[in-house]
Every structure is written in C-alpha cells, then in structure tokens.
Amino acid sequence: MAERLGRSAYGVERDPDRAAYGRSLLRTRSHLRTGGAKELGSLGFPRFDLSLTSPPYTSRQDPWNPLRARGGGGYSGDLGDLSKIFSGVGRLGKPGARVVLETSHIRPARYPRPTTFLAGDVAARLSKLFRPEGEIVIGWTGRPRYRGGGTCGHGQDHSYVVVFRTTR
C-alpha cells in the first residue's frame, strides 16, 4: 500500500519463505529484509516517520514466547521483548515520528481461563518509551470464524490500534 501511495516502505520478516513472498509483491524488493525485529539496528533501515505493525499475540497462560526463536519466557518475557524491540524502533524514528501498533485482548477458547488484556499491557509498556496519542477501536463484522468465537480472532469482535509519538 505504501508504494501505491508513493511512499518508501521498509519491513522485516523472520521467516525466509514469508520474506521471499513479501518481496515478490514489492517494487523495491530490497526494502523487505529477512531477520528478527530485535535486529532492527543492524539491518540498515533509514530513519522513519511512521512505524506500523501488529506483533504476535501471547496470552498470560501461554508458556511460550513467539518473539524468541526457541519460544521460552512466556507472557512476561514477551512483554519484555516487545519493550526491547520498540526501544530499537524508537532509535530509528525521526523526532515526532508516529509508532502505530494493532493489538487485541485475548479471550481463551476454553473458559474459565481468564481474558488476557494484552492491548492494555502493551500500551502501558510502550507508554514508557513513547508519548501516547490515543487509540482507535476497530470493530470487525461477519460470522465468527475463530476458535472461541469472534470475527477478528482471539475470541474478540474488535481490536485496538494504539498510536504513539517518539519524543526525541
């Protein structure tokens, strides 16, 4: 979409096959790099005006962490890794750049496991790194098509777009 709007877009994808597919869709294929988000500083990206992402989701009950190759660390490790990643994102942002993240709460498929308020936890972590600007609630319509119900996954019919600004 960014290319269609005449903007320069850059991205990173850990999975080589997904990265190759993504590059096949781009005019400037070299702008999509294979690597992990923790490696942003070494991937040669220019400073940005806008960062837009939706990281993998983890619930409080999950013992694994999708941001680690071997998956350990659970929910608290995931939040800590997100803080480290976004600290790196902040270093690449121009002064006043927007950092935009789509996320959701997670309602488990099997009750009585409690809902994980991931969107709030992520927003609280990123508020320590960036100046919060607000949130946009996106309502999803259609037939529930996910385990546990919901039209956007994770048992929900909505997600959140949280918006921040870099402070330097």
Q: Dump pLDDT digits (tens) for 20-30.
A: 999 999 999 99
Integer Cα distance of 118 and 100 in angstroms: 15
For residue range 122-159, list pLDDT tens digits in order.
Answer: 899 899 999 999 999 888 777 655 555 556 666 677 78
Helix (H, G, I), strand (E, B) or coil at 139: strand
Residue with tokens 């607000």: 134
- Using one digit for the tens of pLDDT, what is the confidence trace for 45-59? 999 999 998 887 777
Please provide residue 21's backbone torsions phi and psi, each rounded to the nearest 5 degrees.
-65, -45
The whole-number pLDDT of residue 28 equals 92
Residue limits of CATH 3.40.50.150 in the chain: 47-165
Of 52, 89, 84, the closest CA to residue 68 belongs to 84
The verdict on pTM exceeding 0.85 is: no
Topology given in CATH for the domain delimited by 47-165:
Rossmann fold (3.40.50)
Q: Cα-atom radius of gyration of the chain, to the nearest Å?
A: 17
In order of 14, 109, 110, 155, the CA distances from 149 in angstroms are 29, 8, 11, 5
Which of these ranges, 44-53, 76-85, 86-95, 102-111, has the smallest mean pLDDT? 102-111
E strand residue ranges, 32-118: 32-34, 48-53, 93-103
Strands (E), 14-130: 32-34, 48-53, 93-103
